[in-house]
Every structure is written in C-alpha cells, then in structure tokens.
Structure 1
Amino acid sequence: MDTTGMLDEALQRLHRCGPERLGRLTNHAPMAVEALAARGRAGSVHRWLDLYARKLEEFPAGGEPVTTANWPSALGDPRRAADWIGYFGREVAERPWRDVLTEWWPRLLPGLYGGSTHPVIRVGHAVRTLLVGEATEPRLAELGHGLGYWAARHRPVADLASLPGSDSAAAAMDAVTPIAVQDGGFADRLRRVTGLPVWAAAVTDPDEARDRLAELVRAATHRYATHGHGEETMLVHAATAPNAVLRSLPALPRALWVPSLRAAWTASAAVTAMYAPRSPVAYAAPGIVTPEEVFERAPAHGDEHVIKLTDTALDVGDEPALAAALRAVELSEPLVQDASRGRAALFTPGRSGGGAVPRRGP
C-alpha cells in the first residue's frame, strides 16, 4: 500500500471537490487514485489528477445539516449531498469507522443502484484502504464522502420478477435478457428492468455468500472481454460494483454478508440487462502478459473506468480477467489533456505534490 503520503495528499485535494459534475456525472478520481496507490503506482497519482482535474467541480453548497433525527427525510435527495457528507464526516471523526459502516450498511444497501452504483464503489475503495493501512484523517474523510454520496443518491429497486436462472454466476448472467429499448440514461434504463434471473437465492451461510460473491465478480469481469462492446463504460460496473461489496465484507458483521450478496447480484444483473449487447464477440488477450504489465497499461491509458476494471481484474487474477482489462483499454477513449480547456477553468497550481487545488469564486 502507499506509504509515501501521495494518496493522502490526493484525497485532500479531492475533498475540496464535489462528488459529481454537471449534476449527474460522477467524480471518479477518489476511486482511481486509491487503485493506483494500492497497486504500487502512488507516483502516478498527482500526474493523473492533473489530467483529470478538468472533470472536477467545486464542493457543493450545503443546506440543512443531516442529523440522527432528520436523516430519513434526506435519504435519496441528491441536493443534500453536502449535508450528507458533512454528517458522515462528523460520524467517522467521532466514532470508530467500522461502527459507522456497520450501522449504515443495511440502511444504504437497498439503494445501491443510485448514482449508477458509483457510491458503493467509492465506499469499497475507501474500505480497502482502511483495512490494509493506517486510518489517517484523509482516509477516514474519504469513507465519509463515499457514504454521504451513497446516502444522497440512495435509490431502491423493488418489485422485480424472479426469472429462471442457473446455479453458476456465469450461466445466470448469460440468462439475463437485455432490455428491449437500450437508450437513455441509467435511471431510464433501470426503470425498464422488470425481472432478473434467480441466482444464489438459497444461500444462508456467510462464508458461502462471500465465496459466491467472489464467483460473481470473476464471472462479470470475464464477461466484459466478450460483451464490453455493448457499452464500454457502464458494463464495467457489473464487475466493479459487486467487487466493492466483496472488499467491504471483512469490515462488516457476518450477518450482513448474505444480504450483501443478494444486493450485489441484483445490481450486477441489472447493469447487464441495461447495457449488454445482443450477442458476444470472441476476444483473447494479444500474447502472454503479466498482471504487472496489464496494470502498467491502465494509468498509461488514463481512463478512470479502465483503471478501476483493471484493479478488479487483478483481484480476480486469472488470464480471462487480464484479457478483460486489455479489452477495456481497446474499447475506451484514453484520458488526454484538452489543451483548449485545460484545468485552468477550475484549478490553479497548488503546493501538494505539484498538484492543483480548486479556485474559489466565480
């Protein structure tokens, strides 16, 4: 894990920014920089942020503080993002972070689909850092930002018909029927998902739930290699969302593992239904590559979803998963600095690692 302080510096930069831009697009930077640091690329963090900075907006204004008394009325209100982040910032500063996560996980889990599953993915990256490294103030604050974003974008999905499935995760994903009309944004498509195949519904043992969740992550990652052309960006979440849940399990009571599996399957299957192509294409990795070589290509390419899928592929660790990461590199547009817009619109040079800090005012 990062021992140089680069990750903490990057998180401090990013906590001056909002969780979204343009009112709907997610700020992926906290997730990407955590992945870079976790994979031994802390030296690339600030350089990558300098390129990504043009996609960031200032932290939004708050309204009424969220409290233990009024939180139900604020749940799922994206206008209250700053209020929610402030609430969880106070919580993780005053209480053990595992206690906060345990209290709120079952409340937030039904709304895992909000924000196109990005909030739970951000939480999963934050939890991984806290589990393997020191609980520094920026890392605790990052968990607060992730939980606050999740609460603000909380979106439950109910009344889904149970359709015939299969015993294996891969076969169950093959049984997912793509929605008939594949246009519009995430929310529009999600409303068209009326039923999903049954998978792992009989699981009651926490250890089996963990193992089945790992199976789901593996199957969804493998599937990207042959189905990612359906939507190269959104289909990444079919793998990264359940992996965020899997990464969080060690910090959660075992009693929450089974419901976490069920929510992760529904989210992964729903994303598959919303964006999967009608037919797969054959794909194999071009030559033999090592995990290290594959991850070298992710920051060189720069796209945030490529970085996050490659990070998940390395968790899976087999050749089909590495092939999926390389497929994402092929399908996705690389992150390049736009000289015509640059980062000057929102950022000016700062002192932290040669990076940038938001410019205040108009």
Structure 2
Amino acid sequence: MTEQLARLNRLPLRDDLRGLTPYGAPQLDVPILLNVNENTHGLPKSVREAIAISVERAVAGLNRYPDREFTELRDRLAAYLGHGLTSENIWAGNGSNEVLQQILQAFGGPGRTAMSFPPTYSMYPLLASGTGTRYVTGRRSDDFGLTAESAAEQVRAEAPNIVFLCTPNNPTGTALSLDVVEAVYEAGAASEAIVIVDEAYGEFFHAGTPSALELLPGRERLIVSRTMSKAFALAGARIGYMAAAPEVTDALRLVRLPYHLSAITQATANAALEHADALLANVEDIKVQRDRIVSELQDLGLKPAPSDANFVFFGGMEDPRAVWEGLLEAGVLVRDVGIPGHLRVTAGTEPETSAFLARLRELLAAGIR
C-alpha cells in the first residue's frame, strides 16, 4: 500500500469508495496526443477571436452572478439541434459528465439502479457510485454489438431505474440503431426507467446514421446528451448539454448547484455556437482521417471496428501493450482501454494520423503486434 493510499484510508471515507481509483487517462508530454478523443484541430482563428470578444463582454459583469437559466445558451442549443426543440427542452452543465451526474442525482440514488452495456464509457459506474446508485451491467455480443431484442430482454430482467445507451459507443465507436433505443424505452416502462442516449460523438455519425433526437416527441423518459468538447473543440471549456421533455429539465433544477454555469462558460459556448459552421467544417476533415485509419488498419491485417465517432477501436494484436509502448517511444500516445488484444486511437489531423500509421507499420514489420 502506498503512503498516499494509507493516508486516504485513515479518513472516514464512504465504504463504497474505498479502493477505487479516480477516472483519467495518462497525461504525458508527447508530441502527438491521440488518447482522449479530443478534437486535435483546435479552434479556427475566427472562432478564437469571437470567443475572446464574447468573454471580454462577460468579464465586465463578473461582479454579478451569471444568468441562472443560461437563457441565451439554451436558445442557441435548441436552434443548433433542430428537431423542433425549444429552450424548454434543453439543459446544460460543465461538461456532459455533470449533466449525467445531475440526472443520476434526480432519478437515481440509494435504492435505485443504473444499467449500461460494457464495454462502454467508464464514467457510468463512477457516476453511479458517486450518487449512491446501484450499478448493474448488461451484455454485448462477442463483436461488441447490441441488438434490440437482447437489450430489451436484459432491461426487463433487471428493471433498472436508469439505462445508459452510448452511441457512438465509447470505446468501440459503433453506433446503435434507433430500434435498440425504442426497444429499451418500451422495456423500461414497467420500472419507469429513464433512458439516456449518450451522443457525445453524435456529430461524427456517418451520413444517414440517425440521432435519437428523432425519438424525443412523446417519450418523457428519454434523454439525449451531447457535448461541445468534441465536434466544437471545446474540451477545455467544459460544456455539455442534453435534450429532453421540459419536465426533465425541471427535475434537474431541483439538484443543480446555484448558478452552476459561469458567465465565462456561457459566453464561450454562445460564441462557438454562433460560428458552428466553421467548427463543423473540421468535423468533416476528422471523419476523413477516421475512415482512412479504418481502411489502412484493415490493410495491415488488424481488425478495426466500424466507427461513427472521432476515434477507431482496433484489435488483432497479441501484445497491445507492446504496441502502445512502441507508439509512445515515437511520440504517439494512444489509449489502452484494458480490453485484451485492443487499443483505441483518436482520429487527428492528417499529419498526426500519418505519423501514427507510419509508426504502426514499423512496429508490425518488426514483429511487434
């Protein structure tokens, strides 16, 4: 036991938190960071300038609390999402993780259960633990897929209060068909389950892949969460949001901290949304690199999963840790997600993608795989 852990254990920590480790990927100083699915293109100059102007206006009023209802931001997010949504359907927080936490605070808690289908976003069990919500796991097929029939059967058997459906799924990048969402929603009726469709990477869907936003009308227990960290290149600003029935946003007002979105955060998000077209142009470039990675990994004899996200999950390796270390030696950091035989790489810029693929070819040629 480390001294740090020993000191922690001397505190009167909740029993269910003992032995846990914090969420987080390695933070290493290397030239090419392709491990946490950031938008490596950064913000265009025009957007940086617009944000600076918007923040400067907000700075003049920092002696006052921000708009508690972040009215302008909700209006802009509703307009951006479309699908007939209005500001009454929108909620936002400091990253989509805070939004998910608020949902669990409102609809989870002691005596209630949250369910998801691993491998999936590793924050779901941590958010459940932090809110005293029991967490149960469903099953996927051997190829990490999830059918409507299987998902619905498992939800009926577990009768959870909350279900997480991540699409595109992290870490696999695979998208769910809407029939899975519909089947889970119907199967959760008996337990009045809140169904959260986590579309953090929704802007990277292939053309024609539908969003669960289409299913919101008439489904008061359905929530679609999004983030501005990925497509909008605002990971450092911490802005996430969701769309749902107005009564769901009212429920979150019962648990949110006062004035939880700072004036600076609101100003940043509003300026970015005003320049959404410029930011989404980079999304198309990222999708090109993602599809390139999938194609070239297949040519190298590896097994990439079909991806609708800004990353690629790939297998076919006997020693992925050795591959991870070999990439790191060349200054390329990818993610070891702990799934045997697999790694995950973010689709970066064209030069970053080329550097990753070139080094991977060298490793495979040297017999490291």
Larger helix proportion, structure 1 or 2? 1
Larger strand proportion, structure 1 or 2? 2
Name the larger-Rg structure.
Answer: 2
TM over 0.5: no
